[in-house]
Chains A and B, each alone.
Chain A
Amino acid sequence: MSQQFDETQVLQRVARLTRDKLTALMEAGAIFPDLTESGPLFVAADVARLDLLCEFEELFDMKPEALAVMITVIDQMHAARQDRRCLLEAIGTETVDVQMRIATVLAEVSPRTK
């Protein structure tokens, strides 16, 4: 079980965050804490995520809704990277012969090489 933080602890950890800002980010769907009876609970990844959101809010004057769009795109990028890594790892365990065949097919199907 990874460490969890309540609202007060999160506000302490993310210097730029205020309670209002946190509520707005949750309402906009930029952050998804565990909603419990005693209030929302955050994990370490959420803290880093809030730090990033606050950084971009300050730097680019972004509104919570815009931040939610941005972080969603970042999440999708990370999911895609994770998928790619798994696939590359799987292909990496194959023989060079198989890897070469895959690469050849890739070169044919990839729009980039056309």
Chain B
Amino acid sequence: MAEKKPKPTPTDDPYSVLGLTKSASEADIKKAYRRLVRSSHPDINPDDPEAAARFIRISAAHDLLKDPATRARFDAGEIDATGQEKPERRYYRDYTDARESRQRPGQAAGGFAGMSPEDIFAEMFRQQGGGRADGFAAAGRNLAFRLEVPFLDAARGGKARIALPGEPPFDVNIPAGLHDGQTLRLRGKGEPGIGGGPRGDAEVTISVASHPIFRREGDTILITLPITLDEAVLGAKVEVPTITGDVALTIPKGTSSGRIMRLRGRGVAQNGHSGDQLVELRIVLPKGDDPKLAEFMQEWRKSEHEDPRKAMLKGVPR
């Protein structure tokens, strides 16, 4: 499983990410960003495992709002908060543990030479926990994983078997209505704690696999259902697949291709509410030649019937 960094979602309102409102001035934006750099820049907060995720959102929000022209376009609804993502950045702190890191000679070496054990431990203790005086127990780091979940499991809920490194495989409950990009936090499945501290968490970012029949928008399930010409003309009762099994659907007499029927409550059920399934009907003609049908249509063409394009062509400048 590859590591995956959180991405900004369209729901991230850049103003609220920066703690601002729409009336913020350019100076307000700069000030807010500077303040957040102090508290969330990964190079200034290397012990904060959440800093990188926060900073991605903060930078994306700032990138969107710092330029008055881009900001005006966002305010006007011409662009949304997505698409502001930058290629994954390597922070300076990512290199500071590596041997290749080069710092001012004589200072980088660090080490405990010349310090008594008491000095060392007192020094350690001061740094430990960023302000908590709770001894050497340090929580393990969180680990990030990516998990692809089958479409139906994400829609209906289910179980996924997860194998983390150095760990026997275990089952994870997939809640119904899980959406693409959502993160499941598995408490205590991260790196081991140090000195008896609790284990970190595993953060599993979900990607929902696509399905050959169903598509999904939030709680709504969408499908395209082929129907025959006679079903469209004469009406019919047909079986429609839903995520919980087949359901009967009545096609009204004289149905056009593209008509959308709503199956209430057949979508994704979560939090005590069920979404709907939308069925788009598509008329499919028989494969190959059908001389009888062609013959009938020749006759039918001779009779008078309305032109479906009439209203469309009228009054449209050409």
Contact = CB atoms under 8 A, between A and B. Distances in A.
A57 interface: no
A46 B94 CA distance: 11
Interface residues of A, number: 42
Nearest to A30: B104
A66 interface: no
Interface string B66-90: 0000000000000000000000011
A106 B125 contact: yes
A35 interface: no
A16 to B, nearest CB: 13
Interface in A42-82: 43-46, 48-49, 51-52, 59-60, 72, 74-82
A46 B101 CA distance: 8
A83 B133 contact: no
Contact of B103 (A51, A75, A87, A111): A75
A89 to B, nearest CB: 7
B155 to A, nearest CB: 42
Nearest to A106: B125
B128 A84 contact: yes
Given A76-B107, A79-B103, A79-B109, 16 more contacts: A32-B105, A45-B100, A48-B92, A52-B43, A59-B34, A72-B107, A79-B107, A79-B110, A80-B127, A82-B96, A84-B128, A88-B136, A102-B121, A106-B124, A109-B122, A110-B125
B196 A96 contact: yes
B265 interface: no
16 contacts: A45-B95, A52-B92, A59-B37, A75-B104, A78-B103, A80-B127, A81-B127, A82-B97, A84-B124, A99-B136, A103-B136, A109-B118, A109-B121, A110-B126, A111-B122, A112-B126
Contact of A74 (B37, B43, B128, B137): B43
A105 B109 CA distance: 27
B93 to A, nearest CB: 7
A78 B93 contact: yes
Contacts of B44: 74
A76 B110 CA distance: 8
A99 to B, nearest CB: 5
B252 interface: no
A1 to B, nearest CB: 9
B104 A74 contact: no
B91 A48 contact: yes
Contacts of B122: 106, 109-111
A76 B111 CA distance: 11
Interface in A85-106: 87-89, 91-92, 96, 99, 102-103, 105-106
Given A44-B90, A77-B46, A109-B121, A103 B135 contact: yes
Contacts of A79: 103, 107-110
A8 interface: no
B102 A81 contact: no
A92 B195 contact: yes
A37 B300 CA distance: 90
Contacts of A75: 96, 103-104, 107-108
Contacts of A91: 136, 194-195
B151 interface: no
Contacts of B135: 103, 106-107
A29 B104 contact: yes
A86 B104 CA distance: 21
Nearest to A46: B102
Nearest first, the 3 closest Cβ-Cβ pairs linking A and B are: A45-B95, A79-B110, A78-B96
B6 to A, nearest CB: 20
Nearest to B132: A112
